[in-house]
Amino acid sequence: MDQGLTRLEAVLAIARRGSFRAAALDLGMSTTALSHSIARLEASLGVRLFNRTTRSVSLSDAGRAFVDRIAPAVAEIRGAMEVVQSQRQTPSGVLRINASVQAGREIAPLVLSFLRRYPDMAVDLVTEGRLVDIVAEGFDLGLRPADLVPRDMIALPLGKPQRYAVVASPDWIAAYGLPLTPADLPLKDCLRVRLPNGALFRWPFERAGEAVQIEAQGRLTLDEAAIARMAVQDGAGIGFFIEQDVASDITAGRLVRMLDDWTPPRPGFSLYYPGRRNPTAGFTAFLAMVREAAAQDAWRNYVKI
């Protein structure tokens, strides 16, 4: 890509992320190289685009005006490049995907198959808890539970329906017994889960048409499943997880499942994207693989039936 356009993309990335480090990661370059590139651009323009302190980065007045003017132009140039790239016979370039951690695990085998099939393609898979605007943050695709997909996006189902799992350590069960209904749960021993938007997650249960939501009141509040899993294994209390995060622990006996009949399936994952007039060859090829994988899953389920 032309160096001038690369610098403009860098300005937009820093403005979007509010951090040189985060922008550098998005752009696949070092923070030092990015800082030098912006410094050279500022020197050539004769103005400071960003106000920098040791703790924060913000646009200057000149920088804000600059970003407002170049953002539509860069989007047009990017679109023009995609039009040309869409005419390539062999997919090439970078495909950027944003997913939750669990969704990232779900799509990883498909990504690896895609890279083997198309050696000129690269994939940047970013996993994070927060639900991002994939268009504003420069992603081609998003992957989240179906019920979290924005309504203005095109969505493709991917993978099997998920389930929740309520678990505790064998030592905790030996000490306090096995709850048989949600009403039996000792709320002060239930670990609290903080969602990406900052809200506390209410544990949903359902059986035979009866729906119940439990507000955990444990002393430990976490927003990372791996840490919660470690805490529950250590006997900190009862945890509420997506089944795949603790399936191996249940099988190995490190965790004991409870209230299995109260945890019905939840929506599976959906791959989503905005409508695109001129998708790149790589984007089109990846969607074709997603549809192919979905068709194979449907056929396997049919054969089982």
Which pLDDT score, from 0 to 100, does residue 84 have?
67
* 175 lies in the same domain as 259: yes
Residue of 113, 98, 105 whose CA lies nearest to 288: 113
Least confident piece of the model among 6-15, 65-74, 82-91, 266-275: 82-91
The verdict on 206 and 227 lying in the same domain is yes
- Residue that finishes a domain, picked among 40, 63, 85: 85
Token pair of 68, please?
């407002």
Q: Check whether residue 167 and residue 242 sit in a common domain.
A: yes
| Whether 73 and 213 share a structural domain | no
**151 with 275, same domain?**
yes
pLDDT reported for residue 297 = 58
DSSP H helix total and E strand total for the chain: 9, 15
Q: What is the CATH number of the domain that holds 51?
A: 1.10.10.10
Q: Do both 137 and 209 map to the same domain?
A: no
pLDDT band of residue 298 (cuts 50, 70, 90) is very low
C-alpha 273 chain-centroid distance: 13
Question: Are both 243 and 107 inside the same structural domain?
Answer: no
Please give the residue range of the domain that contains residue 295. 93-157+269-304
Of 16-20, 79-83, 115-119, 172-176, the one with minimum mean pLDDT is 79-83
107-130 per-residue burial string, b: 16 or more CB within 10 A, e: under 16: beebbeebeeebeebebbbbbeee
Give residues with Cβ within 8 angstroms of 103, minimum separation 6.
Answer: 127, 143, 144, 145, 269
From 23, 57, 85, the end of a domain falls on 85
Domain count, the chain: 3
pLDDT in tens, 182-230: 999 999 999 999 887 788 999 999 998 899 999 999 999 998 888 999 9
pLDDT for 88 beyond 70: no
Question: Residue for token digits 């990372």?
Answer: 224
Structure tokens at 72: 């539509």
124 and 51 in a common domain: no
Same domain, 189 and 44: no
Q: Are residues 276 and 153 in the same domain?
A: yes
Q: Which segments of 107-179 are extended strands (E)?
A: 121-127, 141-145, 154-158, 162-168
What is the pLDDT averaged over residues 17-29?
85
**10 and 65 belong to one structural domain:** yes
Asked which of 43, 65, 85 is the last residue of a domain, the reply is 85
> At residue 150, does pLDDT exceed 90?
no
Q: Tell if the pTM clears 0.85, that is, is over it.
A: no
What pLDDT shows up at residue 85? 59
Give the chain's mean pLDDT.
Answer: 86
pLDDT of residue 258: 96
